[in-house]
Amino acid sequence: MVYWLSTDDPPDAFPAIGNSIEEPNGLIAAGGDLSTLRLLAAYERGIFPWYEEGQPVLWWSPDPRCVIYPDKVHIPRRLARTISTTPFTLTANRAFEAVIDGCASPRRYTDATWITSAMRQAYVGLHTQGYAHSAEAWDGDSLVGGIYGVVMGRIFFGESMFSRARDASKILLVKLAQALQQAGFYCIDCQLPSPHLFSLGAELIPRDRFLALLPEYCSSQPEVSDWYRFFESHRD
């Protein structure tokens, strides 16, 4: 059975991860809200929200977990050539709201989105408070790709990415991994696997191993690292 949260429950009132269900994989709770304190409590426990408009908030902690270790990011030969000649300008935290809107836009294979209006409002709030960050790819004045996620301690919890130009999101993810490596980050949490992520070096690890990392590498304080300086060097 799925554990139900009330908006009156304390922010950290999540059940033990071991109580998640196997099908669908990792569903651990439903309900509650997307307050900053509840979101931070969730990430600290390896839990993230993912649901569609019209559903209650659904909370997940899948097993296994998909991660990218920054020092193991894989750059295919063709992508390396593209990166060396890319016309894109890369920035960080310049257009967070535009990035989240880009991620919420309909894809060629579906009009559905899990970035509901409530999710947008919640993550814009996290950005304002220094927890959520974005990386952008620009072709002139046009935003052609973006990634956003939550940064806590030395873990970048990736939420979503989009691309309007060939390889824009791949370039961003590679450059993000390189910047995070320079800043001493441990991993990028990709949450769920995809062929796109596997092509760039993502791997699956047991959920127990991922959860064991959190006390050491995850912090509930706003991120003060200078990881984004890698992108700032590309600013106009």
Instruction: Report the C-alpha gap between 80 and 148 in whole angstroms.
Output: 23
Average pLDDT, stretch 171-189? 93
Residue 105: pLDDT over 70: yes
Residue 163: pLDDT over 60: yes
pLDDT of the residue at 234: 43
In what helix (H) or strand (E) does residue 65 lie, and over which residues does it extend? strand 65-68
Question: How many CB atoms are closer than 10 A to CB 224?
Answer: 8
- What band does 235 get if pLDDT is binned at 50, 70 and 90? very low
Structural domains of the chain sorted by starting position, each given as residue range(s) with its CATH number in brackets: 3-62 (3.30.70.3550), 66-232 (3.40.630.70)
103 φ, ψ (degrees, to nearest 5)? -65, -30
Q: Is 174 exposed, middle or buried (0-12, 13-18, 19+ CB in 10 A)?
A: buried
Residue 122: pLDDT over 90: yes
> 192-226 pLDDT, tens per residue?
999 999 999 999 999 999 999 999 999 866 555 67
Look up residue 110 and give its DSSP letter: B
> 35-85 pLDDT, tens per residue?
999 999 999 999 999 999 999 999 999 999 999 999 999 999 999 998 888
